[in-house]
Structure 1
Amino acid sequence: MTWRALVREPLVQFLVAGLALFALHAQVRPDPDAGMRVDRDRVESTRAGLTERLARAPDDRELAAALRDALDDERMAREAVRLGLDRDDPIVRRRLIQKLRLAHESTADVDSFADAALLALRDAEPARYSAPARLALTQVLAARGRHPDPAAAAGELVRLLEAGADPAALGDPGPHARRFGLRPASDYAGLFGPEFAAALTDMPAGTWSIVQSPLGAHAVRVDARAPAELLPLAAARPRLAADLAERRRAEAVEAALAELRRSDPADLTDLPADLAAMLAEHDL
């Protein structure tokens, strides 16, 4: 039998998967003797911590006392676990679960990603990794407080603008510019309020309309629109890398949980059959 045929054998694949899971557990399982081992690395780490805390180098007596305290803490922690003091404390349980989850997450390969993997993620969720649609506009303000009826004053502005008047020569002074280059609608919501931005959604380009804002009534013309577009890889890379790293960590935790479900199954014998079938952990 050739090696290619051999690797396709189900038994061989099962053994390979088992070895991989064993390696994972070996990597995340703490060394039971590490807490009570005092070696040169631990001494130097303790010395560095004391130096930072004391703002000077510790003497041998201070170093020995710190090491003794750490060993005593380890003994107390082990004895508490032996007595089962961790079992009925929800805070301790949550902390243990969190530490194990972090240990499994640390096994994920998130140091670097090939461009192809990042592009595959971007293209699979284009809405998430696209620059939003943008629009440019001109607005001329009929300010609230300067006119008995700002909407009527804005209507007169529209009449003059449609007749060819210069927007820069009309309207009341306000806190914002009259002309804006291409911007997402969210920018206009921040400047003029959400109702103003919402009115821009279906406004045809090149025509004057009246739009209300907390500042008053505006004569508004959409000058140009640019559709949403996929971000180039260079611009999207930081977010793509962060999202892909998060996914790989989640996958590492899920793989570990799948193995734990197999090795430590729940007892579902007393459940109704339908609920037991839905909860069957080997199907999760």
Structure 2
Amino acid sequence: MKKLLKEPFLHFVLIGLLIFMVYSLTTDEYDSDKDIIIDDSDISHLVSIWELQWQREPTTEELTGLIKKTVKQEVMYREALKMNLDHNDEIIKRRLAQKMDFLTNDVSALVNKPSDEDLESYYKENSGRYLRPHQFSFYQVCFTYDNHSDPVNQAKLILNDNSDLSPEQFMKFGDPLPFPYYYESIYANKLNSELGGKIAESLQELPLNQWTGPVESGFGTHLIYLTDRTEPKLPSFAQMKDVIRRDYDYDMEIESRKKIYDNIKSGYELKLKANLDKELKDKIMSEFGS
């Protein structure tokens, strides 16, 4: 039980539920339906927004105008509610749902920072997320379909006749393209992004220090002279601590929002009366928990 009470995620959920309980008890902010109260906090809010926009304090006349505008908005808002103008209004529904989301977002700001022990445990459980991919250093020449009817065959012919040439001698072959002749310590994901296709996967199996190929990319057919290949490695916890903390906070926030929503949702019953396919209807009802 003590261990459970120390769980940071439990803190997220409990604080989140507390926020909604307090908020639900304080929603009746008016002394009566006819009272429109403008207090110091309202004035401070109006002034802050003005200063943010205009980089100065409002004059007395400008402040008067802001207050009058706020009062008019409140009057019209209450009258609209009396007339049920908010009923089935998609914009209002969306805005109120967003405000509820903002409340759940505030939960993370109220929770104590995770300990190093929490972060290390998270790091171990999610180590694959922080694994650095292969790195490659290599020379390459490329033969494109724009310049060759059969670039694969052209690459094979060049390789068969010139496989003993050094990288410096070999650079006379291939088509001119807007990427380097030599790549140094480039990560696999970046390489695939630059050249297209899955060229990095092909480089994982190539021998070092000799011309090999052909290797396909999004640009065409390559001949490769691989000089170095670094296997994937996991950075230390100390190296990644700031990133781990950011990811931890984000995941905790997502999980807490889901738990809070599930708790609120449990007070409702979904009645799906639309004419939908049975499989789809069952799926929706199951996910809602009905």
Conserved in 1, the CA contact under 8 Å of 2:134 and 2:187? yes
Aligned equivalents of 1:235, 1:36: Cα separation in 2: 55
1:240-268 CA distance string (max 9 Å, x none)? 33332232223332333343244x34277
Task: Note the alpha carbon deviations across 1:2-37, whole angstroms, 9 max, x for none.
Answer: xx9xx9xxxxxxxxxxx9776332444464327944
Which of 4, 19, 24 is the matching residue for 1:24? 19
SS at the partner of 1:127?
Answer: helix
Residue 186 of structure 1: which of 186, 189, 195 is its match? Answer: 189
**CA shift digits 1:48-74 (9 cap, x unpaired):** 433555665433233123112212312
Match for residue 227 of structure 2? 223
Instruction: Confirm or deny: 8 A CA contact 2:133 2:189 kept in the other structure.
Output: no
For residue 117 of structure 2, what is the amino acid of its counterpart?
Answer: A
CA contact (8 A) 1:118 1:241 kept: yes
In the TM superposition, 1:20-169 aligns within 5 A as 23-29=18-24, 31-33=27-29, 36-51=36-51, 53=53, 57-109=57-109, 112-140=113-141, 154-155=155-156, 157-159=158-160, 162-163=163-164, 165-169=165-169
User: How many Å apart are 1:136 and its aligned residue?
Assistant: 2.1
Partner of 2:251: 247
* Secondary structure, aligned partner of 1:79: helix
Which structure's CA Rg is the greater one?
A: 1
Supply the distance in 2 between the matched residues of 1:88 and 1:216 (Cα, whole angstroms).
56
Distance in 1 separating the partners of 2:147 and 2:62: 76
Q: Which amino acid aligns with 1:123?
A: K
Q: Distance in 2 between matches of 1:280 and 1:166?
A: 62
Distance in 2, matches of 1:200 and 1:68, equals: 70
TM superposition score normalised by structure 1:
0.69
The DSSP-based 3-state class of the residue aligned with 2:87 is: coil
Structure-1 separation of matches of 2:268 and 2:217 = 61
Q: Distance in 2 between matches of 1:95 and 1:182?
A: 49
TM-score (norm 2): 0.68
Which has the bigger relative contact order, CA under 8 A and spacing at least 6? 2
Deviation at 1:228?
Answer: 1.7
Counterpart secondary structure, 2:102: helix
The percentage of aligned residue pairs carrying the same residue is 19
1:187-238 CA distance string (max 9 Å, x none)? 3334433264453243334443123557665431323322222233355345
Q: Write the distance in 2 (CA, Å) between the matches of 1:106 and 1:145.
A: 56
Match of 1:236 among 236, 240, 256: 240
CA deviation string 1:133-152 (max 9, x = no partner): 22222324568888897656
Alpha-carbon distance in 2 for matches of 1:33, 1:149: 77
2:207 is matched with 204
RMSD (Å), alpha carbons: 4.2
Counterpart of 1:158, as a letter, is L
Unaligned runs of 5+ in 2: 3-13
Aligned equivalent of 2:264, options 260, 263, 272: 260
The change in CA–CA distance for 1:104 and 1:213 in structure 2 (over 3 A counts) is closer
- Write the letter of the residue equivalent to 1:47: V
Compared with structure 1, are the counterparts of its residues 222 and 22 closer, same or farther at alpha carbon in structure 2 (3 Å cutoff)?
Answer: closer
C-alpha separation between the residues in 2 aligned to 1:22 and 1:147?
Answer: 67
Whether the aligned pair in 2 keeps the contact of 1:28 and 1:104 (CA below 8 Å) is: no
